[in-house]
């Protein structure tokens, strides 16, 4: 099914003029780049959430009153004691923060990671399809240009 579809797509590409092909290729290339960028963004977001999950796991192992160092800036830390290891404040976006219990916080990270992963998989599929279109257009464009060069 997929192969027949791409074959018919190639057929319509065959019938295009060189200018049209160029336009199609350019468009497809642009979209592929855009999708690649989105993929890297999702990747970084996922790693950040995974980091948050490990931090939460780490935090949940500590008990009330344990000593910690709190970062005030990137290089300045002050000593403190942990008051409440069972509640966390979660940034849910657009300036809103929600107080959650430890398991809820972990659950939040888990859910976000799963959401990102499913988005990632979907995007990978779309990106590979677009890449095929771009490659097809490139191949046919090359062939047409060669034909033109030999015929003139």
Partner 1 sequence: MSSSNIRDLQRELENKANDLSKLQKDIAKNHQVRKKYTIQLGENELVLKELDLLKEDANVYKLIGPVLVKQDLAEANANVRKRIEYISAELKRLDSTVQDLEEKQNSKKETILKLQQKMQTLQAGKGKA
Which residues, including other chains, have CB under 8 Å from residue 141's CB and lie 6 or more apart?
18, 21, 22, 25
- Per-residue binding string, partner 1, 30-69, x by CB under 8 A, is ----------------------------------------
Determine the Cα–Cα distance for residues 16 and 141; give it in Å rounded to an integer: 9
**Interacting span for partner 1 (CB under 8 A) from 5-13, 72-80, 91-99, 128-136:** 91-99
* Residue 129 sits in the site that holds partner 1 (CB under 8 A): no
**Judged by CB under 8 A, how many residues of this single chain contact partner 1?**
11
Cα angle 33, 35, 37 (rounded to 5 degrees) comes to 70
Shortest reach from residue 93's CB to partner 1, in Å: 5
Determine the Cα–Cα distance for residues 12 and 144; give it in Å rounded to an integer: 14
Among 65, 84, 93, 121, binds partner 1 (CB under 8 A): 93
Give the rounded distance of the alpha carbon of 146 from its chain centre.
38
Tokens of 121: 């998989």
Question: Would you say 52 or 140 has its CB closer to partner 1?
Answer: 52
Q: Which residues bind partner 1 (CB under 8 A)?
A: 89, 92-100, 108
């Amino acid at each position: 099914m997929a192969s027949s579809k791409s074959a018919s797509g190639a057929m319509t590409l065959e019938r295009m003029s060189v200018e049209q092909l160029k336009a199609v290729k350019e468009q497809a290339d642009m979209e592929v780049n855009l999708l690649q960028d989105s993929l890297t963004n999702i990747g970084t977001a996922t790693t950040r959430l995974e980091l948050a999950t490990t931090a939460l796991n780490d935090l949940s192992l500590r008990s009330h009153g344990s000593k910690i160092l709190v970062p005030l800036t990137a290089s300045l830390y002050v000593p403190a004691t942990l008051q409440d290891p069972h509640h966390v404040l979660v940034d849910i976006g657009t300036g809103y923060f929600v107080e959650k219990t430890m398991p809820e916080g972990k659950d939040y990270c888990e859910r976000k990671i799963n959401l990102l992963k499913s988005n990632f998989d979907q995007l990978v599929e779309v990106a590979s399809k677009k890449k095929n279109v771009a490659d097809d257009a490139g191949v046919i464009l090359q062939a047409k240009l060669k034909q033109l060069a030999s015929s003139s």
